[in-house]
Amino acid sequence: MAKTTIKVTQTGSPIGRHKTQRATLVGMGLNKMHRTVELVDTPSTRGMIRKVNHLVQVEEAK
């Protein structure tokens, strides 16, 4: 059974945001603008994305 993955790209700056939002970005492997990472699509990953949805763009990996 193959695990589905999603591509997450940071589109917003964490400057002036709460420390928890910055920590969430770092936890996902994002720390600079326009960086993209592929993450396994799990409920915990979706929760992290929901917390910083105004700073990231999400698409399904192919």
CATH classification of the domain holding 20: 3.30.1390.20
* Residue 36: per-residue pLDDT: 96
For residue 56, the enclosing domain spans 5-60
Give percent of the chain above pLDDT 70.
97
* pLDDT (average), residues 31-55: 96
* Residue 1: per-residue pLDDT: 60
pLDDT single digits (tens) 45-59: 999 999 999 999 999
Mean predicted lDDT score pLDDT of the chain: 94
Tally of CA atoms within 13 A in the half-sphere of 34 that contains its CB = 0
Q: What domain count does the chain have?
A: 1
Closest CA to 60 of 31, 45, 17: 45
Whole-model pTM: value is 0.88
